[in-house]
Amino acid sequence: MLQKERNILVQAQMFLDAVLCMLALWMAHALRNLINVDFLPSPVEIESFDRFLWMLLLIPLLAPFVFHTQGYYVRELLPITRLRRYAALARGCLLLFIIMILVMFLMKFTLARSVLILFLLLMFTLVMLKDEALHLFRKSKMGKTQFQRRVIIAASSNEARHIRKMLSTLGTVDFEVVGHYDLGQAREESLLSMLHDQSANIVLVGSKYAQFSEVEKVIQCCELEGVDVWVMANFFRTQLCTTSIDTLQGSPLLVFRTAPDFTLQTFAKQMFDYVGSFLLILLLSPLLLLICLAIKFTSPGPVFFSQKRSGLNGIPFTMYKFRSMINNAEMKKHELERLNEMSGPVFKVTNDPRVTKIGALLRKTSLDELPQLFNVLKGEMSLVGPRPLPVDETLRFDDIAHRRRLSMRPGLTCLWQISGRNNVTDFNEWVRLDLQYIDNWSFWGDFKILLMTIPVVFRGVGAK
């Protein structure tokens, strides 16, 4: 089953599970009232179900989310045993049960203990019976008619064996292989005959060793027959890329991407950057003005320090900071090269003699970085992302793989920032943290890094 179809089925199951959990609560109350049973002494008398209506609104919001966190819906993506499936369901039901108790405790809402126990048992039983019913339906003749795909494998003999083995691990519920069309060896008439004789509805093309002209002929045959063609995009060897399909002016595109794709999450990240930087500038404007005055009256030279840094994909941009060094600091940098504590192209020195007194305080508290909020507002940086390096340091990368850290917009803070900042002296470790961030990126991960940055900044951990 394709990923898109699996996602739709998971969403349908989530909706159905929410309804069953609501039904379990109603049945628990009805059973308690009907047979007047209490497993434990309860201070609550039999009462109207109207008082439970707010719980019915809460359950559909919590149940699918809680089940998902326990891995109950992962079975739609990876085949798992029935024991593991119901173990995940049991964990989800128990966690939801505990959450409901905590919510009632905080709201000072009293509920008969027997209702809670019946709710837990009925919730697990109803969802399990639903699961078994769906499983039996998919294995039945009617279910196979709805879900099973009759597949012809169009590939070389060696690749066809690999594809057949891959499909066999998914079981016979989703796919039944009904034929093999040898790309480059057989004629188109044999494919057409196979389509007619086997009533196939999918031709799965293994294109790893095929010529595009051969794949095109298969597509043209199936196009006339109204049969779906699935082309496996395994003809390029990749290690890190994720693959997606898109269109450009009606032409299909096969997209290989290592950075996060443009989704609602990445759009939310952009909007959060714009709104967050704007609000922070307004909120911190008195502090910004105070720092400007402190720098102006304690050290000759401009208030701001600007430098060309490497932005997204290496595009240079001017990054702003509060000046924390003497006015001609860049001219004296070569005199301190022998004191550099960082491996690789990056330059870092403890107790840099070029740093002014007010600059040392700004660096300790990271207040010198605040002007970069304007870079975020301009779209050149993000609140969270790999720290931008000077253009000349980027040009000195000795490993081309290090440039992948440029595949996301640079940020004010990052994993390196909350992992000790300047205590990390190995540039390869710095890059590893950046690539770990890119490969595991999520909007909530950004939010977590922002929260973890606050105590790090206040404590001055690793600041120099």
Question: What percent of the chain is predicted at pLDDT more than 70?
Answer: 84
For 274-315, what is each residue's pLDDT tens digit?
999 999 999 999 999 999 999 988 888 899 999 999 999 889
Average pLDDT over residues 163-174: 75
Comparing CA positions, the residue from 149, 99, 144, 97 lying closest to residue 120 is: 97
CATH architecture label of 148-235: 3-Layer(aba) Sandwich (3.40)
Q: Please, which pLDDT band fits residue 77 given cuts at 50, 70 and 90? A: very low
The three-state secondary structure class of 408 is coil
Tokens, residue 72: 């109950």
Report the pLDDT value the prediction gives residue 163, as an integer from 0 to 100.
Answer: 86
354-375 b/e (C-beta count within 10 Å ≥ 16 → b): bbbebbbbbbeebbbbbbbbbb
Numbered ranges of CATH 3.40.50.10700 in the chain: 148-235
Report the pLDDT value the prediction gives residue 332, as an integer from 0 to 100.
Answer: 65
Tokens, residue 172: 């016979």
Report the pLDDT value the prediction gives residue 102, as an integer from 0 to 100.
Answer: 86
Question: Diameter of the chain by CA atoms?
Answer: 89
The DSSP-derived string for 132-163 is HHHHHHHHSHHHHHHH-EEEEEEE-HHHHHHH
Average pLDDT over residues 391-397: 86
The listed range with the strongest mean pLDDT (26-30, 164-168, 301-305, 335-339) is: 301-305
Average pLDDT over residues 138-151: 75
pLDDT above 90 for 125: yes
Comparing 88 with 139, the larger pLDDT belongs to 88
Burial of 459 (0-12, 13-18, 19+ CB in 10 A): exposed
Q: Please, which pLDDT band fits residue 378 given cuts at 50, 70 and 90? A: very high
Rounded to the nearest 5 percent, the helix, strand and coil shares of the chain are: 60, 15, 30
Tell me how many degrees the CA angle 59-62-68 measures, rounded to the nearest 5: 130
Can you say whether the dihedral through the CA atoms of 459, 461, 463, 464 is positive or negative? positive
Q: Please, which pLDDT band fits residue 128 given cuts at 50, 70 and 90? A: very high
Report the pLDDT value the prediction gives residue 40, as an integer from 0 to 100.
Answer: 47
The DSSP-derived string for 2-28 is -HHHHHHHHHHHHHHHHHHHHHHHHHH
Comparing 74 with 116, the larger pLDDT belongs to 116
The three-state secondary structure class of 230 is strand
Report the pLDDT value the prediction gives residue 291, as an integer from 0 to 100.
Answer: 93
For 432-447, what is each residue's pLDDT tens digit?
888 889 988 888 889 9
pLDDT above 70 for 222: yes
Least confident of 167-171, 185-189, 401-405: 167-171
Average pLDDT over residues 241-263: 79
For 8-62, what is each residue's pLDDT tens digit?
888 888 999 999 999 998 888 888 777 665 554 554 455 555 666 777 788 888 8
Average pLDDT over residues 334-345: 64
